[in-house]
Amino acid sequence: MTHPTPGELLELHFGEAAGRAERLAAHVRRCEACRLLLDDVAWVERLLAVAPDDGPAADGLAHVFARIDALRPAPAPRRAGLRAGLPSAAAILVGALAAGLGGPTAAAAFFTAGTLVTLSLAPILILESQKRGSGAAAR
């Protein structure tokens, strides 16, 4: 079953779904998740209509976030182990090579490889931390 987008459901709620209203209404009659979403929209409207000067009820935002979390699809499994393991394996290989060959050239190669691995991981770690931080800040 394909669900209408939240935007389409809001258009249905506000009577702006020209030409699609019957199809969307039929879906909402069969789908509890979409019906609950529209119920939440109506609930927020009722709260705002009762006390427009005071703003929404104190638990309104928590209720909306709980509904969003309940409807949010599960994240795809991540394969971070492989991404982190390859640079580590490369560093171990170069370290073994440097130890086997010995000398200042091998040591310089080892430190160069370590520098490159560190520089290659830095953007990934920065982007991951920003992604996690922005997800928490959105709430």
Domain boundaries, the chain: 6-71, 80-137
pLDDT of residue 103 exceeding 80: no
pLDDT of residue 21 exceeding 80: yes
Band (17; pLDDT cuts 50, 70, 90):
confident
Work out the mean pLDDT of the chain and round it to a whole number: 76
**What's residue 69's pLDDT?**
74
**pLDDT per residue as tens digits for the range 54-74:** 655 667 777 777 777 777 666
Residues in contact with 98: Cβ distance below 8 Å, sequence separation at least 6, in sequence order: 106, 107, 109, 110
pLDDT of residue 93 exceeding 50: yes
**What's residue 84's pLDDT?**
65
**What's residue 73's pLDDT?**
67
Band (123; pLDDT cuts 50, 70, 90):
confident
**What's residue 64's pLDDT?**
74
**What's residue 139's pLDDT?**
45
Closest to 115 measured CA to CA, from 81, 84, 87: 87
pLDDT of residue 135 exceeding 70: no
| Cβ burial, residue 95 (10 Å; 0-12/13-18/19+) | middle
> What's the mean pLDDT in 34-48?
86
**What's residue 30's pLDDT?**
92
Q: Which two tokens stand for residue 11?
A: 């258009």
pTM of the shown model:
0.37
